Chains A and B, each alone.
Chain A
Amino acid sequence: MNASATDNARQPSIPYTTEITSQRAELSEIDQSIRSASLFFTVSAVIWLLLGTVFALIAAIKMHNPEFLAGFEAATFGRVRSAHLNAVALGWSNNVIYGLCLWIMARLCRSPIRHGGLLIIAGVFWNLGVSLGIFGILRGDLTSVEWLEVPVYATPLLAISYILIGVWGIIAFRFRRGDHVYVSQWYFLAGLFWFPWIYVVAVLMILWAPAQGVVQSVVNWWFGHNALGLWYTPMALGAAYYLIPKVLGRPIYSYYLSVLGFWSLALFYNWAGIHHIIGGPVPVWLVSAGIVASVMMVVPVVVVGINHHLSIVGLHKEGWRSPTIRFVVFGAINYTLVSLIGSAMSLRDVNLITHFTHFTVGHAHHGVYAFFTMIMFGGIYYMMPRMLHREWPSAKLIQIHFWASGIGILIMVIALQVGGWYQGLAMNNAEIPFLEIVQNTLPWLKARSVSGVLITIGHFAFAINFFWMLFAAGAVRAKSGPTLLVSTSGKEAAG
């Protein structure tokens, strides 16, 4: 998304030197090696995103209109809500990570993916596993464990096919060239190990050979929180660390901050999940350790925030024009916000109010959507032109996607967190009847449904653009030059 390339993209600003040509040829070779697999994962991800959005909308509406779709057993709140969670977590998020992060990993390792066909086969099995899981949830076979609702019979398929996919990133790292290991590679490599570890331990200790008593809930939240912190977070941060300097053409501000940010995340995050069971029948030292670790998460968050900010500062104008940077910066800012709010929520006095309210639901969407998903959107906007050798057909649709998703998620987070805060205050007051409290959450829940509609519009704009590009008509093929959101002359550059 080079600024000077807008006038005539056929005369790139970078002169053709032999070093650069050779380097770009190498990149082209790597892109080619993972192209089919990445496309497969990304297309799967987009389909799951749309499905998950529909589930989410049904669940959101049912929160204030319980009679909505009341005749369908599969659409009862408990099932459709879990179907939403698993469709966006295992379907959208994992697939987009496989598609985007394995590609970035291969590029940074300067190592073409070998036998990409096998990767696609593993991906097919992953998506079969997710489909089986969602189908099982809608049938009513779901477990009662949050974040692990997928029925037991689908879990071995998920675990095995994940390992077959993740190993590709590790192989790429094993055959890397060059001396320097870039910060994104640390995050990806660590995430590729962390996710199978936490997933297998969690299904083993909760579903396959259940541990006794409260240990289950400890493992449950250790997993639930680590799925976000040791899987989605490192993958999104790694992608942001790649995309920001790549688009802006400026190095990351400080290697030392990168090191500190990575290792403090690795050190503190895996303790933090226990803050979900503050007040529960769990030894209090365990909970306190979780609280301290949650607050110590301020360290990696502030460090990454500063590192990203100082890498972008001064180039805001250029960033605003690039779809990638616009989404990534939105995600990066929200990473800082959501994490600081999360640290505050883990304090006992705050948790007393926010626990068991919509505040937590708002927080979860703040993290997974406003941070993780927005960065992944940015990544797709960067990756697809290189995969398909085409440009995004419509800047207008990208605009709609950004604004609908961005405003939508902000409305959702604000509605659920403000409403949830009042809900929590009221629930701590024994004078107020419970039904009155439920009544008072209705306006906030309706606002959440409105935000859901906005986000759905954004997703459909994105999907239309995506499939338009994928099954490109001649007009799209002929289009040249990057699709930017604001041209230098103030008009839309693309259309």
Chain B
Amino acid sequence: MSEDNTNQPPSNESRPAFEKAGMQDTDMHNVHDQLMREKDEPAEGFSPIPIFLIFVFAGLCFWGGVYFIENSGDFRWDVYDPEYDALAAAPPRPEISLFDRGAKVFRSQCAQCHQANGQGVPGAFPTLVASKWVTGSEERLARILVNGLNGPIIVAGAKYNGNMPAFGPNGLNLKAKDIAGVLTYIRQEWGNEAPEVSIEAMEAYANDYGPRAAPWTADELLADFPLEQ
């Protein structure tokens, strides 16, 4: 760019400051003294940017992006702590009771056959209301859920003949806490009054009976756990 300064033809424009002759000869001499020893007005070379700098700067940009996101406090106006962890800070999901969980599971999995009011369908799907099968032995009830039930069964004096699918690991594979929930629900809803079924107990039953492939029959169950009076 130095050409810009040096190779320019002399300008023909008038130079009022010089034509004014406002200076003495000695002053004029001094002007030349300081001005003429000056170097040219500055110019720039066009050397390329050293390549290693590009890598250094790319590294800096990468660090900057990572640091900013790591310490962004989720871009919230009310977060002042750089260690803020959006996941940890989220309020814990309220733990719902076994009964409420069971109610949900019942509506989605059981109510088609046993009906929302638990009365079932005469001849096919047994009632769950005022039934010793429901309020009686916990383990007998759990077996039905884990492996299912096949064939005739007498419930509350009425006879039913249908198929109950397995909800255990070999069947529809509900989680132990969902099964425990639904058992608790049917044992405490519609006027039934039986203790809840804990998740731990249900996990144990799922372990014990999970490997069994065949559904139970009513006779098999009654042989192990006679119906309560």
CA distance A28 to B35 in the complex (A): 7
Residues of A within 8 A of B229 (CB): none
Report if A258-B38 is in contact (Cβ < 8 Å); known contacts: A29-B18, A285-B73, A296-B61. Answer: no
CA distance A260 to B48 in the complex (A): 11
Pair A288/B1 contact, Cβ less than 8 Å: no
CA distance A119 to B56 in the complex (A): 45
Residues of A within 8 A of B7 (CB): 19
Which of B15, B42, B64 has the largest count of A CB atoms less than 10 A from its CB? B42
B 35-60 to A, binary, CB cutoff 8 A, 1 in contact else 0: 11111111111111110010011001
Q: Does B96 lie at the interface of the complex (its beta carbon under 8 Å from any beta carbon of A)? A: no
> Measured between C-beta atoms, what is the minimum distance from A430 to chain B in Å?
20
CA distance A184 to B81 in the complex (A): 42
CA distance A22 to B11 in the complex (A): 7
Which residue of chain A has the shortest Cβ distance to B68 in the bound complex? A292
Residues of B within 8 A of A257 (CB): 47, 49
Option from B11, B39, B64, B71 in Cβ contact (under 8 Å) with A248: B39
CA distance A459 to B48 in the complex (A): 41
Q: Does A32 lie at the interface of the complex (its beta carbon under 8 Å from any beta carbon of B)? A: yes
Pair A285/B72 contact, Cβ less than 8 Å: yes
**Which of the segments B25-33, B137-145, B155-163 contacts the partner chain?**
B25-33
Residues of B within 8 A of A182 (CB): 42-44
Which residue of chain A has the shortest Cβ distance to B5 in the bound complex? A23
Pair A178/B37 contact, Cβ less than 8 Å: no
CA distance A420 to B211 in the complex (A): 72
Pair B43/A251 contact, Cβ less than 8 Å: yes
Pair B45/A251 contact, Cβ less than 8 Å: yes
Q: Does A302 lie at the interface of the complex (its beta carbon under 8 Å from any beta carbon of B)? A: yes
Which residue of chain B has the shortest Cβ distance to A264 in the bound complex? B57
Which residue of chain A has the shortest Cβ distance to B47 in the bound complex? A254
Pair B10/A18 contact, Cβ less than 8 Å: yes
Option from B2, B9, B17, B77 in Cβ contact (under 8 Å) with A251: B2
Number of interface residues of A (CB under 8 A): 75
Residues of A within 8 A of B81 (CB): 284
Q: Does A115 lie at the interface of the complex (its beta carbon under 8 Å from any beta carbon of B)? A: no
Residues of A within 8 A of B15 (CB): 25-26, 29
Option from A26, A107, A291 in Cβ contact (under 8 Å) with B11: A26
CA distance A14 to B33 in the complex (A): 11
Residues of A within 8 A of B67 (CB): 288, 291-292, 295
Report if A19-B41 is in contact (Cβ < 8 Å); known contacts: A28-B18, A178-B4, A251-B1. Answer: no
Which residue of chain B has the shortest Cβ distance to A243 in the bound complex? B42
Residues of A within 8 A of B73 (CB): 283-285, 288
Option from A180, A256, A288 in Cβ contact (under 8 Å) with B4: A180
Q: Does B78 lie at the interface of the complex (its beta carbon under 8 Å from any beta carbon of A)? A: yes
Which residue of chain B has the shortest Cβ distance to A33 in the bound complex? B17
Report if A299-B57 is in contact (Cβ < 8 Å); known contacts: A19-B6, A284-B81. Answer: yes
CA distance A180 to B38 in the complex (A): 21
> Measured between C-beta atoms, what is the minimum distance from B18 to chain A in Å?
6
Q: Does B108 lie at the interface of the complex (its beta carbon under 8 Å from any beta carbon of A)? A: no
Pair B35/A295 contact, Cβ less than 8 Å: no
Q: Does B191 lie at the interface of the complex (its beta carbon under 8 Å from any beta carbon of A)? A: no
Pair A299/B35 contact, Cβ less than 8 Å: no
Option from A245, A256, A298, A389 in Cβ contact (under 8 Å) with B30: A389
Residues of B within 8 A of A291 (CB): 67, 71
CA distance A32 to B45 in the complex (A): 30
**Which of the segments A2-10, A86-94, A157-165, A448-456 contacts the partner chain?**
A2-10
Q: Does A241 lie at the interface of the complex (its beta carbon under 8 Å from any beta carbon of B)? A: yes
Residues of B within 8 A of A1 (CB): 37
Option from B4, B47, B74 in Cβ contact (under 8 Å) with A310: B47
Which residue of chain A has the shortest Cβ distance to B65 in the bound complex? A292
> Measured between C-beta atoms, what is the minimum distance from A181 to chain B in Å?
10
Q: Does B76 lie at the interface of the complex (its beta carbon under 8 Å from any beta carbon of A)? A: yes
Residues of A within 8 A of B97 (CB): none
Which residue of chain B has the shortest Cβ distance to A110 in the bound complex? B41
Pair B42/A285 contact, Cβ less than 8 Å: no
Residues of B within 8 A of A255 (CB): 1, 44-46
Pair A24/B35 contact, Cβ less than 8 Å: yes
Residues of A within 8 A of B74 (CB): 285
Pair A2/B39 contact, Cβ less than 8 Å: yes
Within 8 A of B (CB), among A15-50: 16, 18-29, 32-33
Q: Does A419 lie at the interface of the complex (its beta carbon under 8 Å from any beta carbon of B)? A: no
Pair A298/B60 contact, Cβ less than 8 Å: yes
Pair A283/B76 contact, Cβ less than 8 Å: yes
Pair B2/A260 contact, Cβ less than 8 Å: no
A residues touching B (Cβ–Cβ < 8 Å)? 1-2, 5, 9-10, 12-14, 16, 18-29, 32-33, 107-108, 112, 178-180, 182-184, 241-242, 244-249, 251-258, 260, 280-285, 287-289, 291-292, 295-296, 298-299, 302-303, 306, 310, 348, 385-386, 389-390, 480, 482
17 residue pairs of the A-B complex, CB under 8 angstroms, read: A19-B9, A19-B10, A22-B10, A24-B38, A27-B38, A28-B17, A29-B18, A241-B42, A245-B42, A246-B41, A252-B42, A255-B1, A282-B80, A283-B73, A283-B80, A285-B79, A306-B53
| Known interface pairs A108-B42, A245-B39; 17 further A-B residue pairs with C-beta atoms within 8 A, sorted by A's residue number | A10-B33, A13-B37, A19-B7, A24-B32, A27-B35, A107-B41, A248-B39, A254-B48, A257-B49, A260-B49, A284-B73, A284-B84, A285-B68, A298-B60, A303-B53, A306-B53, A348-B82
The 8 closest A-B pairs by CB, nearest first: A249-B39, A245-B42, A284-B73, A22-B10, A288-B71, A389-B30, A29-B17, A254-B47
